């Protein structure tokens, strides 16, 4: 078989594949975008409301100043999200609510805890630690770099 015949066959296969993909796309159900947005809004809002209630608890019951009450609030939210991930509850909520559970800090805690649970059979150092921080490392580096540049801009403006 010469190259022109091979080329013609490859083009025919590509055309057939494109036709199949278009046909499959026509039969694919459309996602309920509006309903998904409402679910994400409600669950994300509920997480934020719970965080606000935690912050008020730290202010009123433990006499934290308002400026410092955010630290234990975030730590508590992360702890609860990790516990819920370990018990498999957070993932079920996340499947239902979508981005509503991914956007708050609890979503980041869920992704870290999920990676740790998934790779625990490989050992604590290389499995849990190594794979857990593959995800977290990029986020932490980006956060530090962004904070650095925002600090420079703020310093230049002041």
92-125 pLDDT per residue, tens: 999 999 889 987 889 889 888 888 888 777 777 7
The pTM of this model reads 0.71
The confidence score (pLDDT) of residue 15 equals 87
CA distance to 79, 87, 106, 109, per residue, from 83 (Å): 6, 6, 11, 10
Residues of the chain with pLDDT under 70: 1-2
Q: What is the predicted pLDDT for the residue at 116? A: 82
> CA angle at residue 51 from 45 to 57, to 5 degrees?
140
For 125, which DSSP code? I
Q: What is the largest CA-CA distance in the chain?
A: 83
Distance CA 56, CA 72 (A): 11
User: What is residue 1's predicted lDDT score, i.e. its pLDDT?
Assistant: 55
What is the rounded distance in angstroms from the CA atom of residue 54 to the CA atom of residue 64?
A: 12
Rounded to the nearest angstrom, the gap between the alpha carbon of residue 35 and the centroid of all alpha carbons in its chain is 20
pLDDT score recorded for residue 2: 63
């Amino acid at each position: 078989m010469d190259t022109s015949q091979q080329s013609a066959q490859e083009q025919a296969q590509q055309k057939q594949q494109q036709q199949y993909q278009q046909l499959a796309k026509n039969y694919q159900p459309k996602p309920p975008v509006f309903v998904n947005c409402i679910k994400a809004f409600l669950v994300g809002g509920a997480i934020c409301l719970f965080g606000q209630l935690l912050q008020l608890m730290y202010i009123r019951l433990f006499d934290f100043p308002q400026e410092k009450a955010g630290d234990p609030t975030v730590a508590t939210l992360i702890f609860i999200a990790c516990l819920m991930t370990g018990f498999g509850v957070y993932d079920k909520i996340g499947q239902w609510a979508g981005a509503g559970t991914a956007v708050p800090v609890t979503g980041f805690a869920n992704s870290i805890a999920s990676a740790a649970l998934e790779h625990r059979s490989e050992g604590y150092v290389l499995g849990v630690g190594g794979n857990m921080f593959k995800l977290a490392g990029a986020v932490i580096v980006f956060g530090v770099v962004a904070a650095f540049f925002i600090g420079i801009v703020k310093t230049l403006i002041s």
